[in-house]
Chains A and B, each alone.
Chain A
Amino acid sequence: MINRILDRLEEWLIASFMGLATLVIFFAVVHRYTSGIPWLWQYTRHLSTSWTQELCIYLFIWMAKFGAAYGVRTGIHVGVDVLVRSLTPARQRFFVILSLVSGAFFTATIALLGGKFVHFIYVTGQISPDLEMPMWIIYLAIPLGSSLMCYRFLQVLWHYLKSGELPVHTYGGDIEVAA
C-alpha cells in the first residue's frame, strides 16, 4: 500500500516537474516578445528571464533526482554488460547482485553526504539569487532523491533474489511492430 502511494507520487512528481518547467520557459519566451502588446502584458509582466531560468534548473534537478529513482524501477540505467553476459548463469547472478548492491551503497552514501550538506547550508541561511528561496530546501533534492533511489535499488535486489527477474526498459515504450 505504502509502496503504491510512493510509486504514484514519484510518477506524478516527475511528470509535473517536466511539464511545469516547459511551461515556465515557454511563457518566459512569450513574455519577452509580447511586452509591446498591452492586454497580454498584464498577464506576463511578472515573468522575468533570470528567475524563470533558475526555477527551470531547480525543477529539472528535482526531476532528475527523483526520475533517477524511477529509472531504477523501470530498468533504464544500463551498464556495459558485454563481458558479464558471456559468463555462466551463476557468475552472472553474482555480478547482477554486486551491481545492485553497489548502486544501493553509492546512493546511500550520497544521501548521507547530501543530508550533512543540507544541514550545513541550513545553518548558513543561504538563499537562492533570483527566487530568494532558502537554498537548503532546494538542496534537499539530493538526500531525498538519493534515499529513494537507494530504496529502489534494494527493492529491485529483493525482487531479483526472490524471482530472478530484473526490470527491462524497452525503447519507444509500447511501440512494437511485428513486421
Chain B
Amino acid sequence: MNALIIFVLLVALLLTGMPISIALGMSVLAFLYAFSTIPVEIISQRLFTGLDQFAIMAIPFFILAGAFLTSGGVAARIVNFATTLVGAMRGGLALSAVLSCAFFAALSGSSPATVVAIGSIMIPAMVKQGYPKAFGVGVIATSGGLGILIPPSIVMIIYAVSTNTSVGQLFIAGIVPGVLMAVTLMLVTWLVAKKHNYPTLPQASLREIWQAFRDSIWGLLIVVIVIGGIYGGIFTPTEAAAVSAVYAFVIAVFIYGDLKLRDVPRVLRESANMSAMLLYIITNAILFSFLLTSENIPQQMAQWIVDQGLAPWMFLLFVNVLLFFAGDFMEPSSIILILAPIFLPVAIKLGIDPIHLGIVMTINMELGMITPPVGLNLYVASGLARMGLTEVTLAAAPWILVVTAILLLVTYVPQIALWLPHLMYGIP
C-alpha cells in the first residue's frame, strides 16, 4: 500500500513538469509528513551523507574530462584518423562518423557529449559531400549512444553507485557489447550507403594513416589511462577520472593548443553546472531510495515478483519494456537511480548477475535516447543540424532497429557482457 502511495505521488509530481530532482525530494517530503514515523529531520542529513562516497565523484571528473576533449581539437583529430581508416569504403564518411563516435566514446562517458563532439564536425561534412541531411543526423544520433556503452560511462557509474557493484567490472563488461554495437552500426550504415550509392573517399596511403594516428594518439591515450589504470590497479575509477581530466586539459591547452587558457574557467563552470545538476538528482534519488528501503518496499516487490513464479527471461523482458517506456520520457541517470535499486533484489533472487543487469539497463537507456518524445541524442543532433525532431526520428529508424536487436541479444545471451569481466577478474 505504501509503495503505491509513494509511486503515485512521484509520478503525479513528475507529470507536472517540475525538475526531476525536485519531484523526487517533494514526494519524500510529502510521504514523511503524512504517512511515516521517520522524523523529517533525517532528510537534511541524508542530503549530505548521500553524496559522501568517493565513487560518485568520478562523475564530475569524467564530465570535466569530456568538456576539455570536446572543446579541444581532440575530436577533429579522431575524425581524421577514422576517415583514413574506413573512408574509402562505400559511404566512407558516414562509416567514419560511426567509427569516430566509437573512438570518442572510449574517451568520454556521455552520449550527448559524443553527439556534440563528433556531430558538429561530421554532420556539416556529410551534407557537403552530398549525403541527405537526415541520414547524417540519424547516423550521428544513434552512434553517439555508444558514449554510455563503451567505457568510461557516467550511466554505468550511476548504476554502480546505486547498486553497490564494481565500476571497474561494469566498464570491462561494456567493451564487448560496445564493439559489437559499433560493428553492427557500421554494417547497417554500409548497407544503406550501398543501396543509395553514397560517395566514397580516396583511399588513404599507409603513410597518411600513420600520420593521422600519430596526430590523434594523444587523445586516444586516455583509453589506456582509464581502462589500463583501473584494471591494472593503478587507480580507483575516480582517480582515473581525475587524472584523465588533468590529462585532457594538458593536451587541449598545451599540446594541441586548441583551447586558450582564458577559456578554462568557462569550461570549469559549464562542467560544474552539468555535474551539479546530476549530483542534485543523485542526492534526491538516494533520499528516495532510502525512503523505499526504510519502508522495505524493494524487498516486498522482489518477493512478490518471485512468488508470481516469473522466469528470469520474463523478468528481463519486463525490464526491457518498462525501461523502453521510461526512457522515452526521462533522461537515463534519473531512471537508473530510481529503478536500479528496485530491480536489483529481484534480479539477485532470480539468479541474474548484477553486472549483466547493469549492461542491459545501459543499452536500454541508449535506446531511450534515440526514440521520441524525449530522445536526448535526437534532440541534440537535430539542434546541431537545425532539423525538426520528427524528420530526424524517421531518419534514425534503421539504426533504432539495430540498437533494439543488440539490446535483445545482450539481454538474453548474458555471456556477451559477462565473458570479458569474468575472464579478466578470474570469476568462473
A and B from one complex: yes
- Can you list the 7 inter-chain pairs with the closest CB atoms, starting with the nearest? A67-B276, A99-B18, A77-B19, A172-B116, A64-B279, A25-B242, A84-B17
Does A47 touch B at the CB level, under 8 Å?
no
1/0 contact string of B51-75 vs chain A (CB within 8 Å): 1111011001100100000100000
* Chain B residues numbered 11-60 whose CB sits less than 8 Å from any CB in chain A: 13-23, 25-26, 29, 40-41, 43-45, 47-48, 51-54, 56-57, 60
A15 to B120, CA, bound (A): 26
- Cβ-neighbour of B47 out of A79, A84, A110, A170 (below 8 A): A110
Across-interface contacts of A16 in B (CB, < 8 A): 268
Does B275 touch A at the CB level, under 8 Å?
yes
Chain A binder among B301-309, B355-363, B382-390? B382-390
Does B330 touch A at the CB level, under 8 Å?
yes
1/0 contact string of A91-115 vs chain B (CB within 8 Å): 0000110110011011001100110
Whole-angstrom distance between the Cβ of B34 and the nearest chain A Cβ: 14
Across-interface contacts of B383 in A (CB, < 8 A): 170-171, 176
Question: Contacts A11-B269, A18-B272 hold; do A96 and B17 have CB atoms under 8 A apart?
Answer: yes
1/0 contact string of A60-103 vs chain B (CB within 8 Å): 11011111101100101111111111000000000110110011
Across-interface contacts of A142 in B (CB, < 8 A): 44, 47-48
Across-interface contacts of A82 in B (CB, < 8 A): 329, 373-374
- Cβ-neighbour of B22 out of A65, A76, A106, A116 (below 8 A): A106
- In contact, A79 and B14 (Cβ under 8 angstroms): yes
Across-interface contacts of B22 in A (CB, < 8 A): 77, 79, 99, 102-103, 106
Across-interface contacts of A18 in B (CB, < 8 A): 60, 64, 268-269, 271-272, 275
- Cβ-neighbour of A22 out of B246, B274, B283 (below 8 A): B246
A11 to B266, CA, bound (A): 9
Looking at B116, B136, B276, B383, which has the most chain A CB atoms within 10 Å of its CB? B276
A81 to B320, CA, bound (A): 23
A27 to B124, CA, bound (A): 41
A70 to B316, CA, bound (A): 39
Question: Contacts A18-B275, A67-B272, A142-B44 hold; do A109 and B29 have CB atoms under 8 A apart?
Answer: yes
Across-interface contacts of B17 in A (CB, < 8 A): 79-81, 83-85, 95-96, 99
A77 to B274, CA, bound (A): 9
Across-interface contacts of A25 in B (CB, < 8 A): 57, 61, 238-239, 242-243
**Chain A contact surface mostly:** helix
Does B215 touch A at the CB level, under 8 Å?
no
A105 to B30, CA, bound (A): 12
Does B265 touch A at the CB level, under 8 Å?
yes
- Cβ-neighbour of B133 out of A22, A102, A179 (below 8 A): A179
- In contact, A117 and B275 (Cβ under 8 angstroms): no
Across-interface contacts of A176 in B (CB, < 8 A): 383-384
Across-interface contacts of B266 in A (CB, < 8 A): 173
- In contact, B243 and A26 (Cβ under 8 angstroms): yes
Beyond A60-B275, A103-B22, 19 additional pairs, beta carbon < 8 A: A14-B273, A19-B264, A25-B242, A60-B56, A60-B60, A64-B276, A64-B279, A76-B277, A77-B21, A78-B331, A79-B23, A80-B17, A80-B330, A99-B16, A106-B25, A110-B25, A114-B47, A172-B116, A179-B124
Across-interface contacts of A116 in B (CB, < 8 A): 41, 44
Across-interface contacts of A33 in B (CB, < 8 A): 234
Does A29 touch B at the CB level, under 8 Å?
yes
A36 to B374, CA, bound (A): 53
Does A177 touch B at the CB level, under 8 Å?
yes
- Cβ-neighbour of A113 out of B43, B54, B273, B276 (below 8 A): B43
A162 to B246, CA, bound (A): 43
A45 to B77, CA, bound (A): 38
Looking at B16, B245, B279, which has the most chain A CB atoms within 10 Å of its CB? B16
Does A178 touch B at the CB level, under 8 Å?
yes
